[in-house]
Structure 1
Amino acid sequence: MASSNFIKNVAIVGAGGNSGSHMTKFLLETGKHNVTAITRADSKTKLPPGVNMKQVDYADPSTIVEALQGQDALVITLSTFAPPGQQETLFKAAADANVSWVLPNEWSPDSTHEGLIRDAIPFNHMPDARKKIEELGMSSYIAVSCGFWYEWSLAIPDAFGINIAKREATLIDDGETKMSISTWPQVGRAVAALLSLPIQPEGGDQWRCLDRFRKRNVYVASFTISQRDMFESVFRVTGTKESDWKITHEPAEQRYKKGLEDMKKGDRSGFARQMYTRVFFKDESGNFEKRKGLQNELLGLPRENIDDATRAAEQRQKESPWA
């Protein structure tokens, strides 16, 4: 539990992963935090200098409680395919170790949107996860809604329908539906800035404090864009024009339903299509900048260049987009 008005000790699950590594980097750069990576004993993940490491055994929750002793905050980043119950084990350990703040494994589009949570299968559990933290009664959650990861998602053709390598694209409806989305570095900056805020207001500024976000969602983004905006960036990055591409159109609801059917048959591409297509429905579920507003300015987040992020996605698609 924090002994001052600021968080000092931060534990991260997934500190060496795609998103967690950026959170770790920017937390360290603040110079305000001691960062501890919570890892399995058999983990081979490389961690940056300055990160403490505590090895745990998920079959023995007491090892996690011990690792979390003295931590002010726990940040959880887990794969969509993490074992069932793993996050709940972390919640219970955090409560037993008196960790005051938990950032659960959301890192997603708006997890308070009823239609999105109902229809996009990977998001179904998120309200229950937040409820579990509250029921345990020790920690307070802050859920970070950041949209999908841009450089990860654009690299997967079945996600946003753009296959950079093959010069093929499927535009969902007219390709103009806007959604909020983030790069990994932007969310790393957001987490570092968020956990550097005073817990209680200081200096008469009632807005810049963690208590403002206690048991709430924080909304951040790199861009609020459409498929067409992504496509235009891809043109610039690849030096191509629309006539160089094979372009088809597909209604959002049709693509979503087909994705569900394919997923039930064990097709991994169906999993991606149903999840991503849901944010392109006309209910604006993906555009939380419009519906909820962003905390980018409060957290001091920079404006980013979409073409730089698109270059990163192009490189990932050449290598291993699912890694």
Structure 2
Amino acid sequence: MSSPLKNIAIVGASGSVGTFITKALISQGHHNVTAITRGHKPATPRNKSAQMPEGLHAIKEVDYDSHESLVEAMKGQDMLIITMNVMAPRDSQTKLIDAAIEAGIHWIMPNQYGGYFADDGSNEAGRTDMLRAGTMAIRRYIEGKGGNWIGVACGFWYEFSLSGQEYRYGFDFEKKSLTLFDDGKVKHTCSTWPQVGGAVAKLLALPVSGASPCLEDWKNKQVVFSSFALSQHDMLASVLRVTGDKESDWKITHEGTEERYERGQEMFKQGNIAGFGIFLYVSVFFPDGKGDLTALRENEKLGLPVEDLDEATKVAVQYVESGRSKEWGLS
């Protein structure tokens, strides 16, 4: 049996999900974690208050326009984890992959957190051809360079999505309004940020090879896990328990999944980025139920904890009340 990977480089260590992954890796004590960060990064609503987690082995500033800078930062690393904003320049990820492979890194966790995309198209939620194409292209790119990838099929991030605007889960906390997709009873799987961080950390604590479970079990595959399997009605019930509201305090309307998907597509085509969120989120609530990955999840194999839904909802409500959730709007 081999040992776990020791030296882990992560892009986005101070970002949303990256913070939780980085902290979980550091807390295990198995790894030297290095943050790869853009030098002289301009302040934005997303990073103005971001701080690097304590306990990092190193922080290396890079110039994305300099291949040599990226390669030098990744020398000596065993794995590269990429977490970045969906609106980052399209070539950012391939630049990182090229540098990682040249630096001798053979394990890469690309910027793919959320949906399940199998090569044969099985168990995929919604009509996400655009996302599938990009996801598959990056996987094949890594393989073509001689590297190995591991995707993270965790579903949507629960507290982030619930605290967001109506174009995500249909909740608008400021207006106390909720748009139910169809009847609001279709379940989907989702994960909290701590669960994502813990899952990645437990995965990388495994030996690379040997008796299962080992890292090679997920070589060029996705690791599938979740915190909850929820419908919009389940989420609303939790919100009411946490806030003390009554259902009558909320204005509830309905929109068909098909209608909402098409509306989001049209908005996006016309340049309204919120349309992307609308058609992306509603895709896991289609009546076919393919947004529920419970049958595929590997929580027990990874030794993940059972979480408390209301505690996670409290975090989402706190994000709303603090105004932090407004920093995560699509722009």
TM-score in same-fold range (> 0.5) = yes
Partners of 1:103 and 1:80 lie apart in 2 by: 15
Which of 91, 105, 108 is residue 111 of structure 2 equivalent to? 105
- The answer for the alignment partner of 1:214 in structure 2 is 219
Residue 155 of structure 1 contacts residue 316 of structure 1 at CA under 8 Å; is this kept in 2? yes
Cα RMSD (Å): 1.6
The equivalent residue for 1:272 is 277
Where 1:19 maps in the other structure, the secondary structure is: helix
Match of 2:77 in 1: 71
CA distance in 2, matches of 1:153, 1:229: 14
Match of 2:189 in 1: 180
Aligned residue in 2 for 1:9: 7
List alignment gaps of at least 5 residues for structure 2. 44-49
Q: Give the C-alpha shift of residue 283 in structure 1.
A: 2.7
| CA offset digits 1:225-248 (Å, max 9, x no partner) | 111111111111111122221111
How far residue 11 of structure 1 moved from its aligned partner, in angstroms, is 0.2
Identity of aligned residues (%): 43
TM-score of the aligned structures, taking structure 1 as reference length: 0.92
User: Could you tell which deviates more after superposition, 302-311 or 210-219?
Assistant: 302-311
Aligned partner of 1:299 in structure 2 is: 302
In the superposition, the TM-score normalised over structure 2's length comes to 0.90
Q: Structure 1 residue 199 and structure 2 residue 208: aligned?
A: yes
**Structure 2: how far apart are the matches of 1:284 and 1:92?**
38
State the 1:119 CA deviation: 2.5
Q: Do the aligned residues in 2 keep the contact of 1:120 with 1:274 (CA within 8 Å)?
A: no
Distance change >3 Å, CA 17–CA 123, structure 1 → 2: farther
Q: CA deviation at 1:265?
A: 2.2
Aligned to 1:144: 152
Moved more, 242-251 or 128-137: 242-251
Once residues 132 and 24 of structure 2 are traced to their aligned partners in structure 1, the CA distance between those partners, rounded to angstroms, is: 26
Offset, 1:155: 1.3
Corresponding residue to 1:53 among 47, 50, 59? 59
Change beyond 3 A, Cα 1:186–1:320: same
Question: By how many angstroms is 1:218 displaced?
Answer: 0.4
Report if the CA contact (8 A) 1:118-1:124 is conserved. Answer: no
Give the superposition deviation at 1:42: 1.1
Cα drift, residue 62 of structure 1: 1.2
Cα deviation per residue 1:270-304 (whole Å; 9 max; x = unaligned)? 221111011111232311123xx211112111111
Q: Secondary structure at the match of 1:286?
A: coil
After the TM superposition, which of the residue ranges 105-114 and 14-23 deviates more from structure 2? Answer: 105-114
Paired with 2:70 and 2:88, the residues of 1 have a C-alpha distance of: 17
Instruction: Give CA deviations for 1:97-140 in whole Å, capped at 9, x if unaligned.
Output: 11121011011121224664852645541111111000001x21
1:93 aligns with one of 94, 99, 106: 99
Counterpart secondary structure, 1:74 = strand
Distance in 2, Cα, partners of 1:177 & 1:116: 12
Q: Which residue of 2 aligns with 1:19?
A: 17
